[in-house]
Chain A
Amino acid sequence: MLERIEEIRAEAAAAIEGAGSSAELEELRVRYLGRKAELTSILRGIAELPQEERGQVGGGANRARKELEALLEASAGRLDASELEAKLVSDRIDVTLPGAPSRRVGHSHLISRTTRLLEDTMIGLGYHVAEGPEIEHDYYNFTALNHPPGHPARMLQDTFYVQSHPDVLLRTHTSPMQVRSMETQPPPIFVVVPGKVYRRDSDATHSPMFHQMEGLAIAEGITLADPQGTLLAMCRAIFGPDREVRLRPHFFPFTEPSVEVDVSCFQCGGTGELASGERCNLCKGQGWIEILGAGMVDPNVLGFVEQHGYDAERVQGFAFGIGVERVAMLRHGVPDLRRFFDNDVRMLEQFG
């Protein structure tokens, strides 16, 4: 009997080690260790053996069984790994196919992004953001900004008027909110006003609709040196930390003194010349780019809000207006104002 057990063990062990697949292995498990297997029936029949053989045969059969079980397990592990490997190899994908597209990626409009940049810069300097009507009373757009009726300065801005409302117009600048804001809040006031403005003019450098941001700062003791610092900070935030600004005297009816503000060219570093020695095309060799208008708020404007606490002998301040499209064009190299309102998705998708 013991020889038979050894025969079965040796035969089974050889078969198990030679098995080529887990299916074959399972077959061998059934054949050698299953209910109908010879080894199983030997073990089952031990009770019927003579007392003195029972120990030897039982021990031998159990040892053989355990050995085979261990062998089966080891072979199963070996075969699983190799079969998985084979399976994975056959599961190979073409990693060069495009990825599954997620949802579309949307983009903010350059005007919106630039407006936020300007707003955020001024918020950092302590300003609030106010918004005013685009269809405005002549009073706020002109009269209260020191453009009396019939004043030639009104000619500077070709204005859209509203049908059957001779005193209602599309605001030509964001400045009407200067007086509206001051009517609502006593000094000190630090506010910026972004928004759409309209002028009756249309070509590559003029759009009948465009965007501005107004700034207004009124408090005791503000001087013309303050807009210089404020606008320097703003220009550095927009155009880089190395920028300088310069103020040139100018004329605006609602500021006195008035200045135009130039920022040193960020392409040539203000030299007017590129590294190649060519004339800088951005500033046209000037080294400076005109960027906005500003000035000390005219006492006549404060006169319109005197009853709201704006006494021109006690408080003074500055205002400025900057063109959003102009900033966007300069920062991003957009050549033509009209592109902003064409909304060609191929352009929209160039900007985050």
Chain B
Amino acid sequence: MKVPYSWLREYCDPGMDPAQLADRLVMTGTEVERLDRIGPPSAEGFVVGKVVKCEKHPKADRLSACMVDTGDGERPIVCGAPNVATGQTVAVALPGARMPNGEKLRKAKLRGIPSEGMILAADELEIGDDHEGIMELDPELAAGTPLSEVLPLGEPVLEIEVTPNRTDCFGVHGVAREVHAITGAALAADPWAEDAPAEGEGEASDYASVTVDVPELCPRFTARVFTDVQIGPSPLWLQARLAAAGQRPINNVVDITNYVMLLTAQPLHAFDLDKVPDGALFVRTAEEGEKMTTLDDVERTFDAETVLVCDKDGPSGIAGIMGGQRSEVSEGTTRVLLEVACWNGTNILSSSRKLGLRSEASSRFEKQLHPELCMRAQRIASRLLIELCGAKMVPGTIDVAAEIPQPRRLLLRAERAEGLLGMRISQEDQKTYLERLGFEVQSTGGDLEVVVPPDRHYDVTREVDLIEEVARVHGIDEHLPTTLPAVGGAVGGLSREQRLRRRAEDALRDLGFDQAVGWSFTDPGEAERLRIPAEDPRAQPVLLANPLSEDQSAMRTTLLGSLLDIAARNVSRGAGSLALFESTRVYLTEGTGEFAGDRPAPFAEPHRFAGIAVGPLSPRSWRGGGEAADFFALKGVLEALAQQLGIELGFAPTEEPFLHPGRAAAVSVAGVPAGWLGEVHPLVCRTWDLEAAVAFELDAAPLLAAATVGDERYEDVTTFPAVYQDLAVVVPAGRPAAEVRAAVMAGGGDLLRAAEVFDLYEGEQLGEDRKSLALNLEFRADDRTLTDEEVAERREAIKAKLGEIGGALRE
């Protein structure tokens, strides 16, 4: 909402400069986005002039050589406007005047003729966009009169961001009331206090009729009729105000409707009564699929919820949003029907969204205006139509109204404001602030009884709303004490899961991985690029109904896609090696999320840890290294992560569509599936333009549930010494190491505390299809020192267990 300062001051002059006022507004809850200045930076050098002589320029057809009386004598001015003529009263910029773009006007010679100034068109002062010709001023004005006495020059404009609750501040008068409230400066009488004289013939109902089929969507429809209307341009002061407020002047009738809307926040619409058959208007909802061409020359199609204003020939406007072309006011209009209506805000909001059509009117109506405002606007507009268009108002107002809401009465209890705010505001001050804001206030038994004015009816509905009003006018920044709440016994902290999640993230970081934060959205084609078959649940993501683009229309079901995206982007920017992880959620259509609250989350949102490595994990150096990370490099990372959490991960061969079929493992923890690890399928790598990559994705829940870190129990490892032995085992080449280890552990029984594979050998001397694994064993008992016999016995048992899986000790 743009508020020209001079217009504001007409209703409330705060007696301070605009910047000061802007600060005060900001600190009391009215956001001032900008403070602009329209037109020249200073009024100096702009005067009224009289064209005394006007001749064609001898050397240029389009130019006129004029003599202009500017009060201090006559001066030559060359003018390019086609409409300049002797006898005109015009606006003149003298040499030295600063134009709106900041340039200083200088004396010049145009095609040999001196020119000491400039005769101005409206756009040159930024009080309109008319450059067709120069402005003609009131001939009564004396030459040399400072132009600023006639037109606003260098008009400061406050651009206010109105919050949706403050419909009143969508009008200059509402802002003036606000200024009155926060500064205490006097507020002028309500501009709608006085109605216009009705001097037309007959009764409004003789000329027009209004039928409202949908009173719930149109709580009030008022109409007045004007005859003898003379269409023409608006006076300059009106044009200047509209221009400063960001509206283009059109003609006097349309300008008046816009002007009154900008003043009162109540939109109006003028019909050419002669283009409304029989003057009969009907308000109804549209037929499904009904069409109409709006003022902006676009054919619109409606659904059955859109409310239309129709005449006997069909729709003539979309209620509260935009008028139609058919009955638009034009140059030939002599009789005007002025509609001022009140619409259902929710319906207007929904229709305007569906049509993708927002207007100054709809943006006000959608926030729900009070039916009471209609007559305010009728009264002001009527006076202006008579004054500026020579119109006659026909007596009577057509007023089709559903029940108008009773004024709201609220009780503001004596101690309540202090109880909520923590600062004391005397009841006298509370009363003053509310009255300045337009509320009627009476003290009753220590409390205040408050009547809410119509333009705050939908905003101020409860005691707490009144408290906010008095708090902000009183000055929160100045008066509010600073305290901390008494938290009682509350002790803050992270949950076990949150603590462990942080630990896992830190572990991955300390293992050399950079944390990434990828988009939750992806494109529905990602699953296919990952070779995930359509029937896989991971290929059936939650889809958005209104995505910004197809690329961001599906919620990701795996973190792999965005890690590949991020890796590919970095590689294309020259990164040689990458190790990235992400710790966040995926979104699954199967299952529901487990979160606090009475209603389960619509979808499951399990937290995941995922990582990707491209190129070496340990950097290449002059000493070697730099081998690209492979399956085992990342498996080592996961094992280190597992140690940080105090869990043991299981790895079993698996297949995932996006992984190398021979280099993929299903990861489990305590027998519960927890995700996958593997080298990314070469075809998937190719799709992402990566040479090779290895990745993992783990569900946080089973990992964190199994975690023992923080809850470890002391184990005595010093009283009785351990026996360490190495063991070489020859097994068939296809026998997984995990099975060999399991056999060793089974044979070792309780005494065998650890068995780790530390070497792998495959060679001819073992025979075909055989491999040798070397394991390091730790035997220990809690209650005694082990004897050689006991250990030898266990070794025999291990040998037997290995025999069962086709293995033998290599002695």
Contact = CB atoms under 8 A, between A and B. Distances in A.
30 contacts: A98-B621, A106-B514, A106-B515, A106-B579, A108-B505, A119-B494, A124-B492, A125-B484, A127-B492, A128-B495, A131-B595, A133-B595, A137-B602, A150-B350, A152-B164, A152-B349, A152-B368, A180-B595, A188-B487, A190-B487, A223-B421, A225-B483, A226-B485, A229-B485, A230-B485, A251-B166, A257-B464, A258-B468, A344-B569, A344-B570
Interface stretch (B241-249, B469-477, B677-685): B469-477
A101 to B, nearest CB: 4
| B interface residue count range (under 10 / 10 to 19 / 20 to 34 / 35 or more) | 35 or more
A152 B545 CA distance: 21
Contact of B477 (A129, A202, A246): A246
B280 interface: no
Interface string A114-131: 001001001111111111
Interface of B: 26-29, 31, 163-166, 345-347, 349-350, 366-368, 419-423, 462, 464-465, 467-468, 471-472, 476-477, 480-488, 490-495, 498, 502, 505-506, 508-521, 542-548, 552, 555, 566, 569-570, 573, 575, 577-581, 583-585, 587, 593, 595-599, 601-603, 605, 617-619, 621-623, 625
A249 B28 contact: yes
Contact of A257 (B26, B472, B517, B544): B472
A228 B481 contact: yes
A219 interface: yes
A165 B602 CA distance: 9
A208 B521 contact: yes
Contacts of B480: 224-225, 228, 247
A345 interface: yes
Interface in A169-206: 170, 177, 179-181, 183-185, 188, 190, 196, 198, 200, 202
Contacts of B165: 153, 251, 253
A177 B596 contact: yes
Contacts of B578: 345
A85 interface: no
Contacts of B573: 344, 346
Given A129-B495, A129-B498, A224 B484 contact: no
A298 B464 contact: yes
Contacts of B345: 150, 152
A109 B502 CA distance: 12
Interface stretch (A2-10, A25-33, A40-48, A155-163): A155-163
Given A106-B579, A316-B420, 5 more contacts: A108-B509, A155-B366, A184-B597, A225-B421, A343-B518
B491 A126 contact: yes
A62 B598 CA distance: 103
Interface in A306-352: 316-317, 340-346, 348-349
A289 interface: no
B52 to A, nearest CB: 49
Contacts of B471: 224, 249, 257
A219 to B, nearest CB: 6
**B-side interface mostly:** loop
B601 A126 contact: no
A66 interface: no
B555 to A, nearest CB: 7
Contacts of B481: 225, 228
Contacts of B580: 343, 345
A250 interface: yes
A338 B695 CA distance: 25
B164 A299 contact: no
Contacts of B346: 149-151
Contacts of B350: 150
B465 A256 contact: yes
A225 B482 contact: yes
A181 B596 CA distance: 6
A51 B552 CA distance: 114
A100 B618 CA distance: 10
A168 interface: yes
Interface in A93-115: 97-98, 100-109, 111-112
A63 B465 CA distance: 115
Contacts of B465: 256
Contacts of A198: 520
Given A106-B512, A140-B599, A248-B29, A122 B625 contact: no
A188 B490 contact: yes
Contact of B476 (A125, A126, A163, A247): A247
Nearest to B28: A249
Contacts of B349: 150, 152, 155
B286 to A, nearest CB: 18
A243 B494 CA distance: 27
Contacts of A145: none
Nearest to B562: A343
A239 interface: no
Interface of A: 97-98, 100-109, 111-112, 116, 119, 122-137, 139-140, 149-153, 155-156, 160-166, 168, 170, 177, 179-181, 183-185, 188, 190, 196, 198, 200, 202, 208-209, 217, 219, 221-226, 228-230, 232-233, 246-251, 253, 256-259, 296, 298-299, 316-317, 340-346, 348-349
B599 A250 contact: no
Given A135-B555, A137-B602, A200-B546, A219 B485 contact: yes
Contact of B545 (A108, A162, A209, A348): A162
A98 B622 contact: yes
Q: Which 10 A-B pairs have the closest CB atoms?
A: A223-B422, A150-B346, A249-B29, A180-B597, A104-B512, A225-B422, A133-B601, A251-B163, A249-B472, A257-B468
B720 to A, nearest CB: 36
Contacts of B484: 125, 226, 229-230, 233
A183 B622 contact: no
A122 B505 contact: no
B497 to A, nearest CB: 9
B319 to A, nearest CB: 16
Given A156-B164, A225-B481, A249 B543 contact: no
B421 A224 contact: yes
B359 to A, nearest CB: 14
Contacts of A317: 485
A244 B580 CA distance: 38
A127 B349 CA distance: 39
B305 to A, nearest CB: 11
Contact of A250 (B163, B423, B584): B163
A124 B166 CA distance: 38
Nearest to A244: B482
Contacts of B28: 249
A333 B548 CA distance: 28
B422 A226 contact: yes
B74 to A, nearest CB: 47
Contact of B621 (A101, A132, A140, A163): A101
A133 B468 contact: no
Q: B27, B165, B494, B516 — which one has the most chain A CB atoms within 10 A of its CB?
A: B516
A123 B548 contact: no
B468 A249 contact: yes
A342 B508 CA distance: 20
Contacts of A348: 514-516
B492 A190 contact: yes
Q: B480, B493, B618 — which one has the most chain A CB atoms within 10 A of its CB?
A: B480
B492 A104 contact: no
Contacts of B477: 246-248
B670 to A, nearest CB: 24
A184 B514 CA distance: 36
Nearest to B640: A103
B27 A248 contact: yes
Nearest to A150: B346
A134 B164 contact: no
A119 B498 CA distance: 11
Contacts of B492: 122-128, 190
B468 A221 contact: no
Contact of A152 (B367, B508, B548, B579): B367
